[in-house]
Structure 1
């Protein structure tokens, strides 16, 4: 914290000395706080030298293979219930809301590698009656380089193969684009389908701040969702919020991300390659962005669920209640398969998950208000 304060005052020599002292005590193979300290020191050094934006762009441009991503995902699913339970909660609500509809269209903002959808395909395959036809429109940001849509296309092929294996009628359409630039025509909405909009833990990529201009991209996306009138909009978020001012923002980054590093340190051996992959490929880029970037280059801006709740109401959404039976199923998964320090609770119809008393993830259901 003293180093962050020194960096904020542009006291270069004193900050460099402190970073050297931090690096002597930090370690990429140490305990949780030592590993986090390595990344925090990188962020402070990048901010001090003015190279934060360039470093973040380089990290963001790095392509992680589906194989490596799957290894990290499997580790995450084995030690933490967060993604597994969140996907179960979302998918069971999709099935409940769709009912016996013969056709379902899911628009997934931030589909990435599409790991949410195999479990839904399995649920559909186990139905007593003929499974409905499912169409997924996967939306994600373009990848840097010569093949911006490569990952989203490969995701579609894997899901098509999976659905074919389980004999579930399936169709996929991928869109690699800035989300706020998408129009209704791009989504190919059909009146004979139950329309679901899904976005799990990816809306922090859209700027939201007191500035109207910086809030524009998130508002445009939400206006699009309202315009297509889905049966439900399933929203999953990281329960973080960071100050626009550097020193308090640095303090919150330290505290919030320590939860993840503590979780890994408690449950995963320190020599695990998958753990190192998670720490460097998934946590390092957003930490660097939040510490070393400002203005339009500061792009990772999550919100707390309470702030998100207020904004959703203001922009014209109505919240749907949480189904107690689905919450009970999620609680059983947690109790049977995971460490007792994880917890589930509800607040204002938000489905919350956390670790050691701190809320980390939140999921809720929304629909456009009737005008």
Structure 2
């Protein structure tokens, strides 16, 4: 699609995207509100000011909420236990190849945990049978998984059901019963169709808030004193993260900002314009001089002359969950990174999911997707307890599509790919990337966000070095890994 550049104006869409969901009642619009990080940080404002003056004063320790001497197994622990059992039985050569290995219940586990371990064991065994082309045995195990997880009471059961349904479809494809057809899924449109659910996800899960806040704080550290700031956002989605930036600029003492400009890049202008109206309204409430532009284009069709740059403005680039969609086309991804570098930004921030699904080896990506999904749905179950409808939307609309694509598709039709941080570091190194540290203030405030929410008491942040782009300018990307509950 050719690039188009213009200011966001009200425009009607010619049609709404078709998204399969039985939860349409949750799609009613709710008032748009910014994320609450600064509300949390206000609680510790005095500590932050002292920290910035060089005196680190940690908040007084608080009693851990929800800590008990004995707890049920987490979802990822259940997965690891199931893997160990499968490995043990495989090495011992036990079990009937037609029915999988016999399952024995652990007396120290609850009945729910035992059921989860049993289902996960069947699912892992079915994948092994599939790779050995034992399709009959795999299908029997998958039918058992689907039947026993029909109520989907626990996050493990829901994951098992999603994977079992997708793997059974892959078995049918291998047998020639069905043709593999490309399922077009427009992520950008879907994000807007389920705006309330996305907001609930962003505001109640630790990883979106902490990574967004840390990333935006890194942008502030790089451009916060500039008089004219130009932010280029690839995949802006709801744009809520820029409310953090606006609050940070508005809270600066003696702020001399003359203009904050955001250029949003995406494929659907009406969606970009909707985000622009929200951000413009919020900027007005913060009394900030603000300009919003759009570039409507696929990433492979981007041209620098589609952007409006002024010689006296400082440019920052934000890529939030954008690069993964290009992993199926490595050359296109490298061209995109080169394009970003050619914009000559002083700061580049990249936010990506870390998971191992970008491999042609079926079992490797199967295990990588299973580990990522089972941990994430466990986190959704913990943090979205009061928003069951929103949780179901996230799982049924996004995760079901992702799992199906990872398991049933191959080559370029397998578009859902995620990589580990080591991959990104090697790729960035090709573009002359050097390591830079996150600011102590940014990390300290990120820890305060975790501390400020009792529901995140089992969340751990792993801090990684920043990566600088180029030598002549101090450009950075943020790597801040989160371990969810």
Pair in the same fold by TM > 0.5: yes
Alpha-carbon spacing, 1:71–1:265, altered in 2? closer, same or farther (3 Å): closer
2:344 to 223, 229, 254: 229
**Residues 157-204 of structure 1: per-residue CA shift (max 9 Å, x gap):** 221222222221111122232212212112223221110011122211
Deviation at 1:15, TM superposition (A): 3.6
Alpha-carbon spacing, 1:238–1:75, altered in 2? closer, same or farther (3 Å): closer
1:264 to 377, 380, 386: 380
Q: Distance in 1 between matches of 2:265 and 2:447?
A: 30
User: Aligned residue for 1:252?
Assistant: 368
Q: Which structure has greater strand proportion?
A: 1
**Residues 288-307 of structure 1: per-residue CA shift (max 9 Å, x gap):** 22111111111122221122
Unpaired runs of 5+ in structure 2? 1-123, 467-478
**Residues 27-71 of structure 1: per-residue CA shift (max 9 Å, x gap):** 3641011111121123213323446864632x4479437473233
Alpha-carbon spacing, 1:99–1:247, altered in 2? closer, same or farther (3 Å): closer
TM-score computed with the length of structure 2 as normaliser:
0.66
Aligned length: 343
Deviation at 1:75, TM superposition (A): 4.4
Bigger Rg, which one: 2
2:264 to 138, 159, 184: 138
Q: Is the partner of 1:249 in helix, strand or coil?
A: helix
Q: How large is the RMSD of aligned CA atoms in angstroms? A: 2.4
Correspondences of 1:5-154 after superposition (within 5 Å): 5-27=128-150, 29-50=152-173, 54=181, 56-57=183-184, 59-60=185-186, 63-64=189-190, 66=192, 68-78=194-204, 80-128=205-253, 129-140=255-266, 142=267, 148-154=268-274
User: Aligned residue for 1:185?
Assistant: 305
**Residues 298-345 of structure 1: per-residue CA shift (max 9 Å, x gap):** 112222112211221122233322101110011011112142210112
Alpha-carbon spacing, 1:270–1:134, altered in 2? closer, same or farther (3 Å): closer
**Residues 266-289 of structure 1: per-residue CA shift (max 9 Å, x gap):** 344398111111212232222222
Alpha-carbon spacing, 1:67–1:177, altered in 2? closer, same or farther (3 Å): closer
- Per mean C-alpha deviation after superposition, the further-off stretch among 252-261 and 128-137 is 128-137
Q: Is the partner of 1:64 in helix, strand or coil?
A: helix
Q: Distance in 2 between matches of 1:312 and 1:135?
A: 27
TM-score computed with the length of structure 1 as normaliser:
0.84
Q: Distance in 2 between matches of 1:52 and 1:281?
A: 22
Q: Is the partner of 1:101 in helix, strand or coil?
A: coil
Q: Is the partner of 1:108 in helix, strand or coil?
A: strand
8 Å CA contact 1:7, 1:48 repeated in 2? yes
Q: Is the partner of 2:352 in helix, strand or coil?
A: strand
